[in-house]
Chains A and B, each alone.
Chain A
Amino acid sequence: MSVMANNVAHRIRDDFPILGKPMNGHRLAFLDSAASAQKPQVVIDAERECYESYYANIHRGVYSLSQQSTQAYEAVRGVVKRFINAPDEREIVFVRGATEAINLVAQSFVRPKLGPGDEVLITGMEHHANIVPWQMVTEATGAKLVVVPVNDDGTLDVAAYRERLNERTRFVSFVHVSNTLGTVNPAEEMIALAKAKSIPVLLDGAQSAPHMPVDIQALGADFYCFSGHKTYGPSGVGVLWGRLELLEAMPPYQGGGDMIRTVSFEKTEYAEPPQRFEAGTPNIAGVIGMGAGLEYLEGVGMAAVAAHEQTLLSYATEQLKALPGLKIIGTAPQKTGVISFVMEDAHPHDIGTILDMDGVAVRTGHHCTQPLMARFGVPATARASFGVYTVGDDIDALVSGLKRVRKMFA
């Protein structure tokens, strides 16, 4: 372990109140940040401050509170723009999370373009949120969902991807980083291949935005999305970024207040993006909290976050590999801090319960990637995933807990 990386993370831990609370009589080793990250005090304070000091509905009141709420809410578009290096604030649409972002693009952008025989291309390592919305639109239109296979080490079969991009491909959607395997896909190269054939691309950044610097202009995608709760903000909010000219041409996803210019019973004119896609009163304090989470990450520095998690990944991989009977699923050369594994004689669910008694929180199950579980021939895995606050002690607690599991089931 790099001593410096560990020191920074130990300081960071103090920013997260929950990490100081004992769990089942032990120090909490929270290793499930890929499912949802814990919240720093600044995020908790930002939401509380909104409710305590200036909360009102946005975009409508002329009174001070409403103006202040509107300003704080709208200011988060600027934070997101900077965070992902978007060209224009109007391209930042606030949604409930990455899942809603993908559904929005599937319904508003892709579905009208699809007909019988057309194809939507995804990969074998997608989360259910990047499978089911595409099944819904392809089934409804007679189009076909095409899947790029995953190699044994958890990398994507890029040659197969290249082959499957064809004149019937109307859209490509794939994960930047796999939530189950940790694999970082060669997004820039894959997007360039699609763009060379004029095929628009959505990059699902749910697992990249929290863990590495993201420059969506350099990546070249047409849409990018992530969830606030994984970037240390509240749950129930997230971001869809889309190229302005595409958003401008898209019909609304939902109808309601806040997304219109004028309404009469004969005809409604829709507002411009991003308001067009934000019908109804949004999660105001949640968006403000999400902004605080992103600013917190900026303060740490995304390059430092990525470097810290790489150090932990190497340390944890080495430690886990040394445990007899343990097999890591997903060994791609480019990974984020995610380690899925199975153990001989111990089911992931039992591993999860036993580790919990030591204060170690890991995810167990199929991670909402059932097709990927089938690909690797396992019903489920246990998964340890890291965040800015993860330290070597967390890995050590995991390893000693796994030794106990092994003893119990031997």
Chain B
Amino acid sequence: MSNLRDLYQEVILDHNKNPRNYGVLEPHTHAADGHNPLCGDQLHVQLNLSQAGTIEAIQFTGDGCAISKASASIMTDSLQGLTIAEAQELMAQFQTLVTDMSKEPDPKLGKLAVLAGVREYPMRVKCATLPWHTFHAAIQGDVEVSTE
């Protein structure tokens, strides 16, 4: 088992304590609620998508563990200004980051790479991916998503 510091890095602890883009976004064009039944995490993501399909603003609220909160905070930071296609590519890279130990983090991930430590903790992967599933549900037009 790796060092605990690999999971709870300073950046993660900081995003947990001072989450970015935290708050309800009104008005918004897309929104979804994410739910992790295993730990009771609840997450709400709202965003504004331009006519051209660019994420103009994205925010979140919710109650969850440090990993899910930090992941939502860093995700919303990373998604601002991206097109849907770019966002989906980033989501795929993130999924690989937190599940595939054989690969080095893609440089495009930027500070999302701090969440790589979670792949050593299979029970916690869902905490890190919940914000992404919720974002994905929002752009798909789903209202609710669950990690189960």
Binding site for B on A (CB under 8 A): 24, 345-350, 353-354, 357, 364-366, 370, 373, 379-380, 408-409
Contacts and interface: CB of A to CB of B under 8 A. Distances in A.
Interface stretch (B64-72, B83-91, B108-116, B137-145): B64-72
The 3 A-B pairs of least Cβ separation, nearest first, read: A379-B40, A347-B65, A349-B65
A354 B121 CA distance: 11
Given A365-B40, A379-B41, A408-B8, A24 B1 contact: yes
A379 B42 contact: yes
Interface residues of B, number: 21
A97 B52 CA distance: 57
A349 B37 CA distance: 12
Nearest to A24: B1
A372 to B, nearest CB: 12
Given A350-B67, A379-B63, A365 B39 contact: yes
Contacts of A373: 40
Contacts of A350: 8, 65-67
A348 B127 CA distance: 12
Contacts, number: 50
Which of A353, A370, A408, A409: most chain B CB closer than 10 A?
Answer: A353
B35 to A, nearest CB: 10
B39 A354 contact: no
B8 A366 contact: no
Contacts of A366: 39-40
B4 interface: yes
Contacts of A354: 4, 8
A347 B124 contact: no
B64 A353 contact: no
Contacts of B13: 408-409
A357 to B, nearest CB: 5
B32 interface: no
A366 B38 CA distance: 8
A409 B10 CA distance: 10
Contacts of B42: 379
Select the residue from B13, B65, B67 with max chain A CB neighbours within 10 A.
Answer: B65
A364 B8 CA distance: 18
B7 interface: yes
B124 A353 contact: yes
A373 B67 CA distance: 21
Interface in B25-52: 38-42
A260 to B, nearest CB: 39
Given A364-B39, A379-B41, A349 B127 contact: yes
A26 B123 CA distance: 20
Given A347-B65, A353-B121, A409-B66, 20 more contacts: A348-B65, A349-B65, A349-B67, A349-B124, A350-B8, A350-B67, A353-B4, A353-B124, A357-B1, A357-B4, A364-B39, A365-B38, A365-B39, A365-B40, A366-B40, A370-B40, A380-B39, A408-B8, A408-B13, A409-B16
B7 A349 contact: no
Contacts of B67: 349-350
Contacts of A353: 4, 7, 121, 123-124
Of the candidates A350, A365, A379, A408, the one having the most CB atoms from chain B within 10 angstroms of its own CB is A350
A204 B7 CA distance: 40
A206 to B, nearest CB: 21
